Amino acid sequence: MSNANPGMDADVFEQFIEQLERYVRDRLIPAEKGIIENDEIPAEILSEMRDMGLFGLTMPEEFGGAGMNVSQYVRTIHTLSYAMPAFRSIISINIGMFCSALKNGGTDAQKAEWLPRVAAGEIAAFGLTEPGSGSDSAGLQTSAVQTDNGWVLNGTKRYITNAPFAKVALIMARTSKENLPKNAHVSAFIVPMDSPGVSTGKSDKKMGQSGSHISDIVLEDVRVGGEALLGGEVGKGFAFAMMSLDNGRMSVGAAATAYARRALDSAVRYATERKAFGEPIANFQLIQQMLAQSEIDIYAAECMMADVTRRADAGENVLRKAAAFKVFASEMCGRVVDACVQVYGGAGYLAEYDAERFFRDARIYRIYEGTTQILQLQIAKHMLREFHAGA
């Protein structure tokens, strides 16, 4: 099957992945301790990531990006995510969601204005979740009221990744007071974060994921021009957002799969070094069972990742399979980091060892981009719809 999206030259991409693997091993992992202590990625590392083109992986080349296809993008996220999650978080909204929404639904002028900027490393945010609505789009309250020369936005967005230092946000807002079929009451707006009336709340304290920041975005009589409406068309915002969520879910699945591998590698190393009853605990069969089951789980997720990304590049609708991959990989990662803590034993509960950090960091993967339960409902809904259509 020929790919609808060939992406980067294969040899160039493999060279890039080798370079990124070295960068993760030699630069990012050694920097983790300082990032945990300061809860911040150093400016020099962000500059290096910009120079490597990590903020523009999926942007078309004419806008300064690398032009990666889905398989290449997700493999890059997988490679990067062996390191702590903050590194993926800082780039993923740009390339997985903001860029995807603009490519799918933006006007030519919007693409020309914003894609080069985010490809160069201007950080973007994605404003969908609200205090009273997450997965429930009908409950979305942020409003956009049309004026003679644009729109006025009011509302609050919650748990928005990168909000404290984003330069631009894609804001979902209600353009109809009535709930319309297919969520046509929701439109999307490109809002510069320095617009008058835009403010962010204090960065939320979290269970894990040091160096990655989330906060509220508050919009108070924010005036934007007509060119801010994504695609120049009312009622398309939610559809564009959902299309970009497929990429977001594959990104989270890839990140969870890579972090599970990091935890398992750590557990194997500890099991061979830690001795009990005069021999390494790696010799004990029940320790081996936990290691083996973790390897089996990770392999299954890696196979799902390869399959869903190949299908996406071939032009298939992967909504259901992207959701399935994200659910399996995030739940799998939870099992693996739990096993890692268990292999470490009492040391696994201590902050001086990596195991407890892996455990805390991984928990959000089952919530990001649609909780496991919401995605299970979505998968079932599509299964039943297909059944009834074919009956």
Return phi, psi of residue 171, to 5°. -105, 125
CA distances (Å), 179 to each of 34, 138, 176, 219, 336, in order?
48, 6, 7, 21, 42
To the query of whether residue 122 is one of the catalytic residues in this protein, the response is no
Q: Which helix (H) or strand (E) holds 127?
A: strand 124-127
Q: Report the alpha-carbon distance of residue 143 to residue 193 in Å, rounded.
A: 17
The residues facing 187 across adjacent strands are 173
Q: What is the DSSP letter of 290?
A: H
Of the candidates 233, 316, 369, 386, the residue annotated as catalytic is 369
Q: Report the alpha-carbon distance of residue 317 to residue 305 in Å, rounded.
A: 15
CA distances (Å), 135 to each of 122, 139, 140, 331, 353, in order?
27, 9, 9, 19, 36
Q: Report the alpha-carbon distance of residue 248 to residue 260 in Å, rounded.
A: 18
Catalytic residues: 369
